[in-house]
């Protein structure tokens, strides 16, 4: 049995015994075989001595059991690492950030405490997955939608605490932003509720976010300040109808006004769904290929050269063939007539770009029929799925799959200029790092005020390849930071190096986090090292 | 090429593949498609529920005549189709050669992009039920 660092074998044995008394023997996992189930399947340290692994796992079923476990851990100074559904693949899985920690597995706490149709919210425990919540709502015939991320077996609490995102309207797809009220077990075992929940008998815990006084909920996301045992989430009342439409612009420089108009349309609530950027031209078997028609000889020759040198020629080709250089797909959730009017209005605005063309997309009265569900990407309709795993799984096109991925995910400004600049920077970076040079990459539009690039680094079971990729990843983090672009979220392997780039005024922000950490978790038992925040004794040990 | 060389190419795929509202068509679509109408013992019935809850999201039936895109995929079934190329059924529920040990190895170790399942997600008892279900048609 592995023993947590800094803990004596005797203390650990006593603590395990007490964990067993608290949660039941069968829910304390100490055998190598059981503990190995907590390995991060997508670990960039796979098979190395540095791989982040658990020493044991404890799976409580109630808040009281969580409090007991935390108190025992605090007494024996045992590092513990809470996970909700533990499916944070690409960002750490269910493995701890500080190797040798005991995983506090909250999967068994899977009660849906309330779904309120009148005020459109849910209150859930950590082990409730998106599938669970979706099924519950369907079975009860409640007309509410959950904004789901991929893959659907994650949890509203785990996903939002890592500040993940989904696909519906802006108010909902930022999952942490759409939460309302938390219950937290602190490192000393004390139970606290945030927002209106701090008032005994509160009637509006899930209806008014900030309560009274400092609003501290953000401190429990991407952090290690508490164990969250309940969270409320706002849900989207089932809209009347859905409509999508695509604008295509002919020249590469049209990307700039296209994004400006998109932003205006989003920020005035004309379009509310998540936009998707594309390139009909480059999709033609080119670098952005998503199954478009194969490129002809002329386009193949153009695409063989660095794109920065052929933009004007590509413009001419696109115009000759009548293919859009860039595109943006908008979606509208609302009354069918309002959706149609908003799309017409969006077309009018985009028509300021000479040569802009439009294609009407899907139009559905909601809810979808089962047949319609087969025609759509279901998470855009609040339906959880696992199909996104196809991006790395074996297939005809990918006969030798890897072992997952981690994401390099910088936020850049929401402008066309920034997209061109990011492409210049990442193309140069790829050359420097001896990576294949991307011709052109487009960001995703999860967040309404900033773009996010999602570059997947493959995970292999080849230690040397993983080492090279980790070094390249850290270098990309630095290069992005030199241009003022920071990661929105990252895997434990890179959390310290990313936190290091948030260094304004001699790391004042990190110093604040550390001050809080030392005050509310003086023994440093909770999720040590998560997002680069280490407790005092480990900071000192690291020098 | 060095293996790290795959990185940004893969990245481009990820950036695009996650996107786009369109895709696929399948008139028999359900979230957790049920398969077969076999009369089952309680353990096989439980195993079928486990399969539907945990496995069928990736190992369910492939959508026929789907237009390309993420909504048209069935990652586990597609992966096994690419692996066995018709030599074995791509659908786990149609296999007659799986053994409990084999199933356990994959469930508790994962493979490729499929992660391992913890005991809080899939207890030993449910693991047994899952095996009973997936081996129900094996010839003695
Ligand atoms: C193919 C693929 C596609 C993906 N697409 C998306 C996507 O569209 N959107 C997206 O957001 N993510 C995506 N991901 C990443 C990830 O799988 C999801 O974000 C997933 O929901 C996170 O896992 P989880 O919900 O089980 O959270 P968990 O693993 O339970 O939690 C994540 C982390 O939060 C902390 N935490 C969790 N619960 C608690 C608690 N109760 N108290 C204190 N701290 C806690 C822990 O540090 C934990 O490690 C994708 C991954 C893959 C493989």
Q: Let me know if residue B53 belongs to a domain.
A: yes
What average pLDDT does this structure show over A296-310? 88
Query: Highest mean pLDDT: which of A423-437, A472-486, B31-45?
Result: A472-486
Interval between CA A86 and ligand 1 midpoint (Å): 7
Q: Is A224 in the pocket of ligand 1 (CB under 6 A)?
A: no
Answer whether residue A284 shows pLDDT above 80: no
Percent of the residues in chain A that have a pLDDT greater than 90, as a whole number = 88
CATH number at residue B24: 1.10.760
Q: What is the pLDDT of residue A227?
A: 98
**Closest-lying ligand 1 atom to the alpha carbon of residue A162:** 34
Q: Is A469 in the pocket of ligand 1 (CB under 6 A)?
A: no
In whole angstroms, what is the distance from residue B88 CA to residue B95 CA? 7
pLDDT (tens digit, 9 = 90+) per residue, A326-355?
999 999 999 999 999 999 999 999 999 999
In whole angstroms, what is the distance from residue A171 CA to residue A192 CA? 26
Helix A463-482 / helix A492-499 crossing angle, nearest 10 deg: 30
Residue A459 or B6, more confident:
A459
Q: Which residues in chain A are closer than 8 Å to B26, comparing Cβ atoms?
A: 374
Q: Is A83 in the pocket of ligand 1 (CB under 6 A)?
A: yes
The question of whether A134 is a catalytic residue gets the answer no
pLDDT (tens digit, 9 = 90+) per residue, A28-40?
999 999 999 999 9
The ipTM is 0.93
Q: Return the number of other C-beta atoms located less than 10 Å from residue A349's C-beta.
A: 18
- Residue burial A15-24, b: 16+ Cβ < 10 Å; e: rest: bbebbeebbe
Q: Round the average pLDDT of chain B to a whole number and report it.
A: 76
Answer whether residue B27 shows pLDDT above 90: no
Alpha-carbon radius of gyration of chain B? 17
Identify the residue whose tokens are 């207890």. Answer: B123
Q: Round the average pLDDT of chain A to a whole number and report it.
A: 95
Q: Which residue of B has its CA nearest to A152?
A: B57
pLDDT band at A292 (very low <50, low <70, confident <90, very high): low
Q: Which residue of B has its CA nearest to A443?
A: B15
- The protein residue whose alpha carbon is closest to atom 27 in ligand 1 is A158
Count of domains observed in chain B: 1
Q: Let me know if residue B99 belongs to a domain.
A: yes
- The protein residue whose alpha carbon is closest to atom 6 in ligand 1 is A150
> In chain B, which residue ranges form alpha helices assigned H by DSSP?
7-17, 42-50, 56-59, 75-84, 100-109, 124-134
Domains of chain A, CATH where assigned: 9-105 (3.30.43.10), 112-237 (3.30.465.10), 241-366 (3.40.462.10), 405-500 (3.40.462.10), 502-542 (1.10.45.10)
Question: CB–CB of A55/A4 below 8 Å?
Answer: yes
Q: Let me know if residue B139 belongs to a domain.
A: no
The question of whether A76 is a catalytic residue gets the answer no
Q: Is A391 in the pocket of ligand 1 (CB under 6 A)?
A: yes
Q: What is the pLDDT of residue B71?
A: 66
Which pair of tokens denotes residue A14? 């006593």
Q: Is A157 in the pocket of ligand 1 (CB under 6 A)?
A: yes
Percent of the residues in chain A that have a pLDDT greater than 70, as a whole number = 98
Contact flag B15-A454 (C-beta cutoff 8 Å): yes
pLDDT (tens digit, 9 = 90+) per residue, A464-512?
999 999 999 999 999 999 999 999 999 999 999 999 999 999 999 999 9
- Chain A: give the shortest CA distance to residue B72, in Å: 8
What average pLDDT does this structure show over B34-49? 76
Q: Let me know if residue B81 belongs to a domain.
A: yes
Q: Which of A69, A83, A407 to probe ligand 1 with, by most ligand atoms within 8 A of CB?
A: A83
Q: What is the pLDDT of residue B70?
A: 64
Answer whether residue A290 shows pLDDT above 70: no
Question: CB–CB of A176/A160 below 8 Å?
Answer: yes
Q: What is the pLDDT of residue B17?
A: 29
Which residue in B7, B17, B80 is closest to A391 by CB distance?
A: B17
Q: Let me know if residue B18 belongs to a domain.
A: yes
Q: What is the pLDDT of residue B10?
A: 36
Answer whether residue A147 shows pLDDT above 70: yes
Q: Is A402 in the pocket of ligand 1 (CB under 6 A)?
A: no
pLDDT (tens digit, 9 = 90+) per residue, A212-266?
999 999 999 999 999 999 999 999 999 999 999 999 999 999 999 999 999 999 9
**Closest-lying ligand 1 atom to the alpha carbon of residue A489:** 11
What average pLDDT does this structure show over A111-138? 98
Q: What is the pLDDT of residue A435?
A: 85
Contact flag B21-A329 (C-beta cutoff 8 Å): yes
- The protein residue whose alpha carbon is closest to atom 51 in ligand 1 is A89
Alpha-carbon radius of gyration of chain A? 24
Question: CB–CB of B53/A132 below 8 Å?
Answer: no
**Closest-lying ligand 1 atom to the alpha carbon of residue A157:** 38
In whole angstroms, what is the distance from residue A386 CA to residue B55 CA? 9
Q: Is A82 in the pocket of ligand 1 (CB under 6 A)?
A: yes
Answer whether residue B23 shows pLDDT above 70: no
Q: What is the pLDDT of residue B8?
A: 39
Q: Which residues in chain A are closer than 8 Å to B80, comparing Cβ atoms?
A: 394
- Residue burial B40-72, b: 16+ Cβ < 10 Å; e: rest: eeebbebbbbbbbbbbbbbbbbebeebeebbbb
Edge-to-edge order in the sheet of strand A326-334: A276-278, A326-334, A241-249, A357-365
Q: Let me know if residue B35 belongs to a domain.
A: yes
Which residue in A34, A380, A395 is closest to B82 by CB distance?
A: A395
CA angle A271-A277-A283, nearest 5°?
145
**Closest-lying ligand 1 atom to the alpha carbon of residue A389:** 1
Answer whether residue A58 shows pLDDT above 70: yes
What average pLDDT does this structure show over A82-109? 98
SS3 A5: coil
Q: Let me know if residue B30 belongs to a domain.
A: yes
pLDDT (tens digit, 9 = 90+) per residue, A354-379?
999 999 999 999 999 988 888 888 99
Number of cross-chain residue pairs from A and B with Cβ atoms under 8 Å apart: 244
Name the residue among A497, A499, A498, A504 with its Cα closest to residue A517: A499
DSSP calls for A193-227:
E-GGGGSTT-S-TTT-SS-SS---GGGGSSS-S-E
Which residue in A278, A392, A435 is closest to B7 by CB distance?
A: A435
Q: Which residues in chain B are closer than 8 Å to A437, comparing Cβ atoms?
A: 8
Which residue in A38, A460, A469 is closest to B118 by CB distance?
A: A38
Q: Is A118 exposed, middle or buried (0-12, 13-18, 19+ CB in 10 A)?
A: exposed
Q: Which range among A50-54, A110-114, B24-28 shows the weakest confidence by mean pLDDT?
A: B24-28
Domain of B15 in residue numbering reads as 3-134
Q: What is the pLDDT of residue A391?
A: 85
Q: Let me know if residue B41 belongs to a domain.
A: yes
Q: Which residues in chain A are closer than 8 Å to B57, comparing Cβ atoms?
A: 131, 151-153, 385-387
């Amino acid at each position: 049995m592995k023993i947590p660092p800094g803990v004596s074998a005797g203390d650990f044995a006593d603590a395990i015994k007490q964990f067993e008394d608290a949660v039941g023997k069968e829910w304390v996992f100490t055998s190598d075989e059981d503990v190995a189930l907590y390995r991060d399947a997508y670990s960039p340290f796979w098979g190395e001595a540095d791989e982040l692994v658990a020493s044991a796992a404890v799976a409580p079923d109630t808040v009281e059991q969580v409090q007991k476990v935390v108190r025992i851990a605090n007494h024996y100074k045992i590092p513990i690492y809470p996970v909700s559904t533990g499916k944070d693949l690409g960002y750490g899985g269910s493995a701890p950030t500080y190797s040798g920690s005991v995983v506090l597995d909250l999967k068994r706490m899977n009660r849906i405490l309330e779904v309120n149709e009148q005020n459109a919210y849910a209150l859930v425990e950590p082990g409730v997955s998106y599938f669970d919540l979706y099924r519950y709502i369907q079975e009860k015939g409640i007309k509410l939608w959950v904004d789901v991320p991929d893959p659907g077996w994650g949890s509203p609490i785990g996903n939002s605490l890592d500040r993940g995102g989904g696909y519906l309207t802006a108010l909902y797809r930022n999952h942490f932003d759409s939460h309302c009220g938390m219950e937290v077990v602190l490192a000393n075992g004390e139970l606290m509720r945030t927002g209106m929940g701090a008032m005994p008998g509160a009637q509006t815990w899930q209806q008014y976010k900030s309560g009274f006084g400092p609003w501290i909920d953000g401190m429990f996301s991407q952090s290690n300040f508490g164990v969250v045992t309940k969270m409320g989430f706002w849900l989207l009342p089932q809209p009347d109808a859905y409509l999508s439409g695509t604008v295509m612009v002919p020249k590469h420089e049209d990307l700039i006004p296209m994004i400006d108009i998109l932003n205006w349309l989003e920020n005035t609530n004309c379009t509310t769904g998540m936009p998707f950027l594309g390139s009909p031209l480059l999709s033609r078997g080119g670098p952005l290929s998503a199954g478009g028609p194969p490129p002809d000889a002329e386009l193949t020759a153009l695409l063989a050269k660095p794109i920065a040198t052929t933009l004007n020629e590509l413009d001419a080709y696109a115009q000759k063939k009548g293919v859009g250089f860039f595109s943006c797909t908008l979606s509208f959730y609302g009354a069918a007539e309002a959706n149609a009017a908003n799309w017409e209005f969006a077309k009018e605005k985009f028509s300021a770009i000479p040569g802009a063309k439009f294609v009407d997309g899907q139009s559905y009265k909601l809810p979808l029929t089962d047949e319609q569900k087969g025609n759509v990407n279901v998470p855009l309709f609040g339906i959880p799925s696992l199909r996104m795993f196809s991006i790395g799984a074996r297939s005809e096109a990918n006969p030798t799959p890897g072992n997952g991925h981690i994401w390099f995910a910088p936020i850049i400004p929401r402008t066309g200029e920034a997209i061109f600049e990011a492409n210049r920077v990442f193309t140069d970076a790829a050359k420097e790092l001896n990576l294949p040079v991307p011709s052109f990459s487009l960001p995703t539009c999860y967040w309404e005020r900033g773009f996010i690039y999602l570059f997947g680094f493959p995970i292999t079971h080849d230690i040397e390849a993983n080492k090279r990729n980790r070094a390249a990843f850290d270098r990309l983090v630095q290069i992005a930071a030199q241009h003022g672009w920071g990661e929105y979220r990252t895997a434990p392997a890179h959390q310290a190096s990313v936190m290091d780039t948030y260094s304004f005024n001699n790391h004042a922000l990190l110093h604040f986090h550390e001050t809080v950490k030392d005050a509310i978790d003086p023994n440093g038992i909770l999720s040590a090292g998560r997002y680069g925040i280490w407790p005092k004794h480990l900071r000192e040990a690291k020098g | 090429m060095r293996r790290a060389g795959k990185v940004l190419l893969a990245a481009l795929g990820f950036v695009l593949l996650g996107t786009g509202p369109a895709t696929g068509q399948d008139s028999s679509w359900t979230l957790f498609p049920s398969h077969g109408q076999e009369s089952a013992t309680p353990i096989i019935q439980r195993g079928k529920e486990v399969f539907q809850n945990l496995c069928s999201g990736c190992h369910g039936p492939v959508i026929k005549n789907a237009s390309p895109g993420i909504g048209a995929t069935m990652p586990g079934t597609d992966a096994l189709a690419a692996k066995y190329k018709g030599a074995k059924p791509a659908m786990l529920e149609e296999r007659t050669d799986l053994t409990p040990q084999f199933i356990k190895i994959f469930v508790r170790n994962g493979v490729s992009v499929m992660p391992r399942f913890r005991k809080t997600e899939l207890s030993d008892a449910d693991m047994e039920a899952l095996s009973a279900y997936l081996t129900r048609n094996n010839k003695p």
